Amino acid sequence: ERVNHWFTKLGSTGFKIERDAKNNGDKKVYSLKLEFNGSPIRSEDINKVFSESDRRNLAFSVFMARAEKMTNKDEIILVMDDPVVSFDDNRIEKTCREIKLISGQYRQIIILTHYKYLLYGMIKNQADACFVDIKSLPNGSSSLAVKDISNITLTAHEKACDRICAFIEGSNDPEIMSV
């Protein structure tokens, strides 16, 4: 039931998802029964009905439904690795809004991503967040630095204007010359 809640909330509508359990000897084997607008979907037809975004949403919805069942959530750190892969901007926005809504229930939520629009969505939803940049170093290790988000949502034009203003004010930062 909660998988359906998340799946719909994050933009996949018209689907009904149920867990199906069958005995295979002494083991239970679980699978999903799917319907779209009341019509059953055969497992071999899932790729024809589900977009890549729907498949990713299903995986994320199962993750979120399981996370909801955790006890002692205030002690749990959720780690999400690129939860919005293949999502369009609208679905990313919905995901950011939902992550913000549940964020107070968990000790911490760590989201790893390279999608700028996910950062924009978290900023737009005023998530109480710290953004950290992870960079690979030539020696094979990595460095962490708190990301300055003050200009992350600026357009290329606004960034160029800021560099020009800094130049006019006498800054000699070499990046200013890259306008």
- pLDDT tens digits, 26-63: 898 888 889 999 999 998 898 888 889 999 999 999 99
Q: What is the pLDDT of residue 120?
A: 83
pLDDT of residue 91: 94
Write down the pLDDT at residue 149: 75
Q: How far apart are CA 27 and CA 147, in angstroms?
A: 48
Residue 4 — pLDDT band, cuts 50, 70, 90? very high
- pLDDT greater than 70 at residue 176: no
- For residue 158, pLDDT beyond 80: no
Classify the C-alpha dihedral 33-37-41-47 as positive or negative: negative
- Dump pLDDT digits (tens) for 65-113: 999 999 999 999 999 999 999 999 899 999 999 999 999 999 999 999 9
pLDDT of 126 reads: 80
How much is the pLDDT for 68?
95
Please give the share of the chain, as a percent, with pLDDT higher than 70: 94
Residue 151 reports pLDDT greater than 70:
no
Q: With a threshold of 0.75, does the pTM exceed it?
A: yes
Residue-level pLDDT at 84:
93
Q: What pLDDT does residue 82 have?
A: 92
Torsional class of 120: left (φ above 0), alpha (ψ -120 to 50), beta (otherwise): alpha
pLDDT for position 169: 85
Residue 142 CB contacts under 8 Å (≥ 6 apart), including other chains: 134, 135, 136
> pLDDT value at position 175?
66
Q: Which residue has the higher pLDDT, 63 or 165?
A: 63
